[in-house]
Chains A and B, each alone.
Chain A
């Protein structure tokens, strides 16, 4: 009997015209890059310099093709997340899996799909299952570079004249992946094994046709089947359009020119970032830090294992070094450990995601590709939440930590823009784009369903150094922020809108205030069985404010059950239609029947709970942080804030020192002279109540020596100290602590399952993860 050694795959060295395997070729490119500091050793951009018009012509065709394909393919989807919010992206890669160009959309996936391609290359997909013209591969594995399981990527190899010339990837954010909790960014599950369907670069189609076993199996694995299939068609259509486009470009421009372009454009991107850093930033070091809460001790957080019932804090310190050569390094030494929740990230999610924000200042061009990554060094210490050392971690809402940590990067790099005068680029940070309204059950059409409202795509933005942040406008992860149409959301969700209003007093105060968030009050309606939960920050703020500005307001939750609203509607009584303008007034409760059960608190993470028709759920989308001392705010702007219902009277007085009158029609007039006088008094009051920092430090030091802090604060420090002796040493040095001072999780009386014993993905047989950061 003849045993076929390689019945599925390609004969080694036949995919590329140079006779190398894909892995050999990629390693050679990496080697030339490391040796020269230029991508693929390209010290000169021969094609671009000798034929700049031809170079730009190819770029324009490719970029236009990518954007056009995205816009066309988007119309196939039925999911509002894709069709309304634009949560899709298409990207072209060279044969190494390095991004050449990308469409508009969620451009974090420049890196995530590239990581999947590199994983296939490094793990010899060439031999098994083989890479052939007409194949389709699907990936959403978080340990293969994906952010969270709901981002499903379809990856198609592109062949010209039987030679592999590149790859195209398309990604959509699906509504549900069949995790324990319904919705795409759910919680409740605490491990990968409950985090939804995860597909590892699986061949799911041949001859341009999706395989039936894949279609049947994947539909059964998720709740929102029809959306799933239409999203799949969206991705396939887009990737095939782009493949056809590239083949046309090759016909028109020549294979050699296109091949050169697909390397040179990446080196061009690398140089672009270096040049921009030198033009805009200040060399040296910037230190910054971010936090966010994981309040899992609360009774409304139900998890399957007792070891997850612990309050913790995400800690993300970052030292940004802007080097003399215009490259930069981001070092996250000191981060806290990963945890038993769905907020863990992985290095690619982290490194690729950063470009979503940096493209809005450092790379504000169409030429977004992997070049910027080659000018950047990331250090993500192993074992931290940025780089878990355990293959069991869950990632469904990695954004909870990612967006929180990135807010501090805006702040840090903005200090360098501000320092040399590029005030227009300064951004005090991003809002924490939440709440994530999610839930599921049997919907108004009698179907098993799940929802994740993407109203979060339009939170308040951070203030700039020359203007206020934008109100209800954007989210850090999607440059095309849009809250979506009420009518469309009501079709997709059994949740009627009782109101959608700007959220008063949510923008961080400052000379320029943060953009305000907004709130929507939803009433469960016409469902058969329904559950919902909250997902966001409440006890903590992840943004800080910049140069004297304040952080935005934190989140809170409002839900109401047994409301009697059906009865009130029938009787024509008043309804909770308006806004929760000042939560202390409890306005909504005034329009509920006696006996209503209301939860109004700071517990902004909950797990799936039952909701009846007539119950209420407040979706509060956060505001952005402020810039500069609030006492510097233009008095006319404070008056406008009052008249626009952006600011509560009490805080106009206390924070801005505004002295004003209100006429019979409710119009405010701020008295400039009296306000100036009051502001002068406030400055004196600050001096009177302030303590010299050195004096205050003595008291704070004693608190540390006495171990006087909440458990969650101590757990955060202990976790970072264990992973980073450097962070511990710096902490002890700053506070001048005795050498004998120690803090260990073991002494805190909290669950430590998973804290000391782990098994990483690379310990699996024949698995070779792609590592692109320092660890």
Chain B
């Protein structure tokens, strides 16, 4: 099994890792330490102390809140979206590109969807304005709850103690 340093994982997160190493990561069996190193790197990148358990996006993590040990979804800026079992998007800001004018802000008109068929929904952090996700559904479509992790099993797979309140 391959092993990598924390510096290499940090570079991977930053997008600075050399291609030879990235290629090695792709082609070799996965390194068991990755989760541990990744969490350390992500923790170094945020100002809050809550323990990061999983990443849900480049600026969005599942964390164990220091104050009460609840597991919540948190933006890098510190914005708390609440219980990780609920869809964080329901606590976000949304902007829907549902007409030609709004679509033309991002693509030439003929290269964007027809909004009677499809709209783009942008989800922003209410505190810092980061765009955490873009959905491209039909009108009327329910907000997607993208991932519902089974943390208990996950920590069993990792062979690590699970947080108390999962």
Instruction: Decide if B153 touches A283 in the complex (CB within 8 Å).
Output: yes
Which single member of A278, A545, A632, A716 contacts B134 (CB below 8 Å)?
A: A545
In contact, B138 and A313 (Cβ under 8 angstroms): yes
The listed residue with most A CB atoms (<10 A of its CB), out of B32, B89, B112, B134, is B134
Bitwise, A402-439 to B at CB < 8 A (1) or not (0) is: 00000000001001101111111100000000000000
> How far, in angstroms, from A631 to B128 measured CA to CA in the complex?
12
Contact indicator B118/A291 (Cβ below 8 Å): yes
Known contacts A547-B133, A554-B113, A693-B143; is A421 also within 8 Å of B92 by CB?
no
Please tell me which one of the listed residues B9, B118, B148, B150 contacts residue A421 in the complex, with CB atoms under 8 A apart: B9
A531 within 8 A of B: no
Interface residue B26 (Cβ < 8 Å from any Cβ of A): yes
Contact B140 A693 (CB under 8 A): no
Whether A385 is near chain B, meaning CB under 8 Å from some CB there, is: no
Give CA–CA (A325, B65) in the complex, Å: 29
- Report the separation of the CA atoms of residues A554 and B134 in the bound assembly, to the nearest whole angstrom: 15
Inside 8 A of A630's CB, which chain B residues have their CB?
131
- List A contacts of B5 (CB < 8 A): none
Main secondary structure of the interface of B (DSSP, over half): mixed
Q: Mark A532-545, 1 if CB is under 8 A from B, else 0.
A: 00000011110111
Contact pick for A694, options B90, B110, B116, CB 8 Å: B90
Assess whether A629 is in contact with B58, with CB atoms less than 8 Å apart.
yes
Chain B nearest Cβ from A431, distance in angstroms: 13
Q: What residues on B are CB-neighbors of A692 within 8 Å?
A: 92-94, 126
Q: Is B108 an interface residue (CB 8 A)?
A: yes
Report yes or no: A466 in contact with B12, Cβ–Cβ below 8 A.
yes
Q: Specify which chain A residues have a CB less than 8 angstroms from the CB of B105 in the assembled complex.
A: 654
A654 partner, pick from B30, B57, B106, B123, beta carbons under 8 A: B106
Q: Smallest distance from the beta carbon of A245 to chain B beta carbons, Å?
A: 27
Contact call B54/A284, Cβ cutoff below 8 A: no
Choose one: A280, A550, A556; the contact of B120 (CB below 8 Å). Answer: A550
A242 to chain B, nearest CB (A): 27
Given A287-B144, A547-B57, A703-B139: A539 in contact with B90 (beta carbons within 8 A): no
A628 within 8 A of B: yes
| Cβ-based interface call for A602 (8 A) | yes
CA distance A692 to B57 in the complex (A): 20
Chain B interface: which of A168-176, A493-501, A680-688? A680-688
Q: Which of B25, B58, B145 contacts A287 (CB 8 A)?
A: B145
Other-chain residue from A283, A553, A691 in contact with B93 (beta carbon distance below 8 A): A691
| Measured CA separation A55–B40 after assembly (Å) | 41
> Contact size class for B?
35 or more
Stretch of A213-221, A225-233, A254-262, A504-512 contacting B (4+ beta carbons < 8 Å): A504-512
Given contacts A540-B118, A544-B134, A629-B131, contact A415 B147 (CB under 8 A): yes
Could you say which residues of chain A place their CB within 8 Å of the CB of B117?
A: 293, 313, 539-540, 710, 712-713
In chain A, positions 324-369 with a C-beta closer than 8 Å to chain B are 324, 364
> Which residue of chain A has its CB nearest to the CB of B15?
A466
Task: Judge whether A693 and B107 touch: CB under 8 Å.
Answer: no
Known: A282-B147, A550-B106. A422 touches B34 (CB 8 A): yes
Return chain B residues, CB-CB under 8 Å to A551. 120, 134, 136
Shortest distance from the beta carbon of A510 to any chain B beta carbon, whole Å? 9
Task: Find the A residue at minimum CB distance from B89.
Answer: A693
- A684–B30 Cα distance when bound, in Å, is 40
> B132 — nearest CB in chain A belongs to which residue?
A548
Per the bound structure, the CA–CA distance linking A283 and B22 in Å amounts to 25
- Docked-complex contact A282 and B54, CB < 8 angstroms: yes
Chain B 140-158 interface residues, beta-carbon cutoff 8 Å to A: 140-151, 153-154, 156-157
> When each residue 92-104 of chain B gets 1 if its CB lies under 8 Å from chain A and 0 otherwise, what string results?
1111100000000
For chain A, the bracket of interface size reads 35 or more
Within 8 A of B (CB), among A581-639: 582-584, 600-602, 628-632, 634
| Distance from B99 Cβ to chain A, minimum over Cβ atoms (Å) | 13
- A544 CA / B133 CA spacing, docked (Å): 10
Among B35, B108, B154, which residue has its beta carbon within 8 angstroms of that of A284? B154
CB contacts (< 8 Å) of A420 on chain B: these are 34-35, 38, 54-55, 154
- Pair A713/B134 contact, Cβ less than 8 Å: no
Q: Are the C-beta atoms of B12 and A284 separated by less than 8 Å? A: no
Pair A289/B137 contact, Cβ less than 8 Å: yes
Decide yes or no whether A518 CB sits under 8 A from chain B.
Answer: no
CB distance from B10 to the nearest CB of A (A): 11
Q: Tell yes or no: A690 within 8 A of B by CB.
A: yes
Distance to closest chain A CB from B114 (angstroms):
4
A761 in contact (CB, < 8 A): no
Q: B44 on the interface (CB 8 Å rule)?
A: no
Comparing A23-31, A93-101, A450-458, A730-738, the segment that makes contact with chain B is A730-738
Tell me whether B109 is interfacial, beta carbon within 8 Å. Answer: yes
- Partner among A364, A629, A694 whose Cβ is within 8 Å of the Cβ of B130: A629
Q: Which residues of A contact B (CB under 8 A)?
A: 276, 278-280, 282-289, 291, 293, 313, 315, 322, 324, 364, 412, 415-416, 418-425, 465-467, 505-506, 509, 511-512, 538-541, 543-545, 547-551, 553-554, 556, 582-584, 600-602, 628-632, 634, 648, 651, 654-655, 682-687, 689-694, 696-697, 700, 703-704, 709-710, 712-713, 716-717, 730-731, 734-735
Give me the 4 closest cross-chain CB pairs, A-B, nearest first: A690-B93, A683-B129, A421-B38, A284-B150
B→A interface (CB under 8 Å): 9, 12-13, 15, 17, 22, 25-27, 29-30, 32, 34-35, 37-39, 54-60, 62, 89-96, 105-114, 116-118, 120, 122-124, 126, 128-151, 153-154, 156-157
21 A-B contacts (beta carbon < 8 Å): A276-B30, A282-B147, A286-B148, A288-B144, A313-B117, A418-B56, A419-B54, A539-B118, A540-B113, A541-B113, A543-B136, A548-B132, A554-B113, A629-B130, A683-B128, A685-B129, A693-B89, A693-B123, A709-B116, A713-B138, A734-B142
20 other A-B residue contacts (CB within 8 Å) besides A539-B114, A547-B132: A284-B151, A419-B54, A466-B12, A511-B58, A539-B116, A540-B118, A547-B58, A554-B111, A583-B108, A629-B58, A629-B131, A631-B131, A651-B107, A690-B124, A692-B92, A693-B123, A709-B116, A712-B117, A713-B117, A734-B143
